Amino acid sequence: MNNRVVITGLGVVSPNGADLAEFRHAIRNGISGIRHDPQLEKLLFSCQIAGKPVIDEERMLQYFTPLELRGLQSTGIVYGVIAGMDAWKDARLEAMMMNETPDWESGSVFGTGTSGIDKFREAIYKVDNLQIRKLGSTVVAQTMSSGVSAYLSGKLGLGNQVCTNSSACATGVESILMAYERLKNGSATKMLAGSTSDSGAYIWGGFDAMKICPYQYNESPEQGCRPMSATAKGFVPGSGAGAMVLETLDSALGRGAHIYAEILGGHVNSGGQRGSGTMTAPNSEGVQRCITMALKDAGLNAKDIDVINAHLTATSKDVTEIENWVAALDRHGGEFPYINSIKGMIGHCISAAGSIESVASVLQLSEGFIFPNINCEDLHPDIEKLIDPLCIPVKCLEKQFNVLAKASFGFGDVNACIIFKRYRDGKRRIDQ
């Protein structure tokens, strides 16, 4: 089968917006969610700023029972459940009641990096102190990587494939592509796709130890993450979750669903940590191949790309990424597409990055705007040599466009690129 696949629901929990409305407003207006983090200061981190969603107890009780909240320490599960259930509701779908049959045609691919690390730390302490019987009944559910998918499946009654993927910073885009393939080949009718990331010192400490997070902006947090800037000093850690409901076009049309966008195709690969690729740096040949193969899968040419929502992490690899886009698309200077990165506003949300950024991408495509890049007024000179600065908007552009390419590149030299198209009618190719 070769079903067309569309997006009918969105949900997000982000440092600059804990629901879709707040998030939309923030990205349109270049509002940062990066703040000083007292815990990081107390623990003597070099980088003492982070992007962390703000969710109050009243909001939590809309998604979890008081019993579920007792002992729930996995922020990643909290973020993922909220974003996932919001996306399901946004798609105007209802959860199956507990006395009903599971929805055999609906499933989920919801990725993460680690799960419940604070809960895991507590469990280690109790085991070491011979307090095994005090571990509680939710340790396994919170610390297993598939915990977020298990929670979502139980709350929504999903009966199709329910799984968790994990591919570092490429996790979010990969999860969407995995769900897309299942729908395309007819194995499901609806899939909830997304990813989440825990927040806190135990997640972010390793990056601080690697000295890839900035310490120069501890007194000015909102200026700390600077993709494409000459004064970028490293990525600011972030957390949250993004989610979307993917559905076959026939199903969406049959129930009169609102369609945000269509997925035309994509590609995932690895650079094999060969050539320029290492555990922490991408093989440029692998990145370029990922982009060109995504275009081929979508049935498009390089000239068809209007906007790129890039990975761009505010590290020394930003120039390399632009070089790879230029080479893969064979477009440079003023012929290059518009390009933006949301990380200046929210930091690098690790395993949640690709899904949050994909929600931002679909909003732009559906509503006809291109959100601004913040903190890159001093554009890196090597980037300026490659592409026209006008391709890097620093103010929100109200502009309708047709095709957006979203890519994420992760530790382990893994890559993912997906092609989104504005949904207008029954035609697939943009030249029809």
Question: How far, CA to CA in Å, does 183 sit from each of 7, 70, 250?
Answer: 11, 36, 11
- Same domain membership, residue 288 and residue 244: no
Backbone dihedral angles phi then psi of residue 276, each to the nearest 5 degrees: -80, -5
- Position 428 scores a pLDDT of 42
Question: How far, CA to CA in Å, does 205 sit from each of 70, 171, 202, 212?
Answer: 26, 20, 6, 11
DSSP string for 169-186: BTHHHHHHHHHHHHHHTT
In a domain, 430, yes or no: no
In a domain, 80, yes or no: yes
Given a cut of 90, whether residue 286 has pLDDT beyond it is yes
| Consecutive H or E run containing 360 | helix 353-367
- C-alpha to C-alpha distance for 63 and 59, rounded to whole angstroms: 7
Region class of 319: left (phi > 0), else alpha (psi between -120 and 50), else beta: alpha
Q: Which of 117, 115, 37, 123 is nearest to 80 (CA)?
A: 115
- Same domain membership, residue 179 and residue 98: yes
Given a cut of 80, whether residue 425 has pLDDT beyond it is no
pLDDT (average), residues 100-119: 90
- Same domain membership, residue 227 and residue 282: no
**Higher pLDDT among residues 133 and 370, named by residue:** 370
Given a cut of 80, whether residue 177 has pLDDT beyond it is yes
- C-alpha to C-alpha distance for 194 and 313, rounded to whole angstroms: 20
Q: Which of 19-33, 81-95, 127-141, 248-262 comes out lowest in average pLDDT? A: 127-141
pLDDT tens-digit profile of 236-264?
Answer: 999 999 999 999 999 999 999 999 999 99
Domain end, chosen from 207, 228, 254, is at 254
pLDDT tens-digit profile of 289-316?
Answer: 999 999 999 999 999 999 999 999 999 9
- Same domain membership, residue 309 and residue 188: no
- Same domain membership, residue 334 and residue 234: no
- Same domain membership, residue 327 and residue 411: yes
pLDDT band at 142 (very low <50, low <70, confident <90, very high): confident
Break the chain down into helix, strand, coil percent, rounded to 5.
Answer: 35, 20, 40
pLDDT band at 424 (very low <50, low <70, confident <90, very high): confident
Given a cut of 80, whether residue 404 has pLDDT beyond it is yes
In a domain, 30, yes or no: yes
pLDDT (average), residues 121-144: 70
- Position 119 scores a pLDDT of 66
Domain end, chosen from 229, 254, 279, is at 254
pLDDT (average), residues 384-400: 98
pLDDT band at 115 (very low <50, low <70, confident <90, very high): confident
- Position 402 scores a pLDDT of 98
In a domain, 263, yes or no: no
- Position 259 scores a pLDDT of 98
Q: Is 240 in contact with 194 (CB distance < 8 Å)?
A: no
Q: Which pTM was predicted?
A: 0.95
- Same domain membership, residue 203 and residue 123: yes
Q: What's the total number of domains in the chain?
A: 2
- Position 16 scores a pLDDT of 98
- Same domain membership, residue 291 and residue 178: no
pLDDT (average), residues 179-188: 98
pLDDT tens-digit profile of 321-353?
Answer: 999 999 999 999 999 999 999 999 999 999 999
DSSP 222: G
Domain end, chosen from 214, 231, 254, is at 254
- Same domain membership, residue 413 and residue 334: yes
pLDDT band at 129 (very low <50, low <70, confident <90, very high): confident
- Same domain membership, residue 228 and residue 303: no
- Same domain membership, residue 299 and residue 244: no
Percent of the chain with pLDDT over 70: 95
Which residues span the domain enclosing 313?
269-422
In a domain, 381, yes or no: yes
In this structure, the chain runs to a length of 432
CATH code: domain of residue 408: 3.40.47.10
- Position 35 scores a pLDDT of 98
Given a cut of 90, whether residue 171 has pLDDT beyond it is yes
In a domain, 427, yes or no: no
Q: Is 307 in contact with 338 (CB distance < 8 Å)?
A: yes
- Same domain membership, residue 13 and residue 100: yes
In a domain, 182, yes or no: yes
In a domain, 260, yes or no: no
- Position 71 scores a pLDDT of 80
Mean pLDDT of the chain: 94
Q: Is 345 in contact with 33 (CB distance < 8 Å)?
A: yes
